[in-house]
Amino acid sequence: MTYIPRHALDNLAKYSYKSVDKSILSHYVLNPFWTWFVTLWPLSVAPNTITLTGLCLVVSNVATMLYYDPAYLTQRGGVELPSWIYMSWAVGLFFYQALDAIDGKQARRTGMAGPLGELFDHGCDALNTTFEVILASHALNLGRSWWTVASQIATLANFYLTTWEEYHTGQLYLSAFSGPVEGIILIVLVYVITALNGPAFWDTPLVQFVYLDRLVPGLVAQLPTYLQGFGTNEAFMAFGAAGVVFNSASRHDILLSKPARIHPANPPPSWRNLRVATHAKNKSSFRPVLLLIPFVFSATIQVLWLSHPEWTHSAIIDSTLLVPFLLAWGLQFAHMVGRIILAHVTSTPFPIVDWMWIWSLIGAVDANVPRYFGRAPIIQSSSTNTAIFVYATLVLSFLAYGRFVTLVIQDITEYLGIACFQVVKKDRDGKWKDAKVVNEKEKAK
């Protein structure tokens, strides 16, 4: 069974990965470490194996959280994890980032660079976004709350914007402050602080955290009660959401400006990149904007489902179902952006509709039957039925994404003659041999 059409596979040979990283932290601090770190790995280790190892570290972090707090109650709900757990999350995420950064370096060392590596890398990153939302919200003592859901939306939106931009401009652009670099380091610091002070530390009102209550007590007393008690954790989440809004606003502002030539030494922000890319192809820069709608639509479905039976009392958020719900959502998102990256490397049309939305759409419509039709839900008529449906969504999402990943890997490895988890390639006779040997023969010719 093949997943990728033959004409799309033929475009793989034309693909070349392009990226720009403007991060000061990456250039002067992290990259020297990554350059050294990759030398510790034998040339017999495949780049995708390194990527998968990093994801396994994060999965182990999620596993420890579920072991100690399966109900996702957090300290606010009476469950306090050992401090070493949070420190292990910091270590796991730090090395996830490092392994994610060196897989490309390892690919170049072993001669295994190609579109398969980019697809695999982005797939792991897409899954990690939801994992870290769950873990970071736990460390920030937010747990079962709309703040956790808001964090999921903001994080996925940022990832979608980056993927959307890469599809239309042909390059991955990381700004001076980006999620894959500074964002991850910021979360690592959150885990470390939580390990040292406990999750309740983040419940400290922001006015106390920044000493406003001591510096200007009169001003604080005049603030609304809500702002006086606005937690540091809530402020952290608001800061993240503001970053996404700023990202989007800056893109919109630049969309209205005149196209300018991209200079390699000083690449402009995303919208200008998009404007230049579409202008060069004599295409409208408005249609790509419409392709942001699929994410908005998919996120709206999930939020409407969570709003049952009331916005202030969600049957899913206020129960043990929040984590499996978020995991199912994350898998569906990974499937959606995975198809976008696949379309990017194969030069095929941008995927607009994802059939995996159908299941969640059914859940959202059924959950809102009482609100709009004045009768009980047909499927989720009880807490037990709701649980069954949510877990069924998780299983279906896992199987669908697993099928997508498996078929894509099979198609690309077979067509390009490059293995996924071994440093081997097919020679001209179609036999699998050491990649170094095959590369040397190709150079000799």
Residues with catalytic function = 122
Q: Can you read off the two tokens belonging to residue 338?
A: 């995975």
- Contact criterion met (CB below 8 Å) for 377 and 366: yes
HSE-up of residue 419 (Cα within 13 Å, Cβ side): 20
- The rounded distance, in Å, linking the Cα atoms of 198 and 191 is 9
Pair 232, 202: CB distance under 8 Å? yes
Instruction: Decide if 64 contacts 82 (C-beta within 8 A).
Output: no
Q: What token pair was written down for 89? A: 């999350």
Q: Does residue 140 contact residue 199 with C-beta atoms inside 8 Å?
A: yes
Task: Specify the amino acid at residue 230.
Answer: F
Let me know: does 121 contact 51? Beta carbons within 8 Å: yes
Cα dist from 342 to 10, 13, 207, 346, 408, whole Å: 13, 13, 47, 6, 9
Distance in angstroms (rounded) separating the CA atoms of residues 168 and 156: 18
CB atoms within 10 A of CB 330: 24
User: 120: which residues sit within 8 A by CB, 6+ positions away?
Assistant: 48, 51, 52, 409, 420
Q: Cβ distance 233 to 240 under 8 Å?
A: no
b/e map 258-284, b = 16+ CB within 10 Å: eeeebeeeebbbbbbbbbbbbeeeeee
Nearest to 418 by CA among 122, 111, 5, 102: 111
Residue with tokens 């919109």: 252
Token pair, residue 436, equals: 């170094």
- Classify 422 in phi/psi space as left (phi over 0), alpha (psi -120 to 50) or beta: beta
Tokens 């419509």 found at: 365
Give Cβ neighbours of residue 242 (< 8 Å, ≥ 6 apart): none
Helices 322-346 and 383-416: crossing angle, nearest 10°?
20
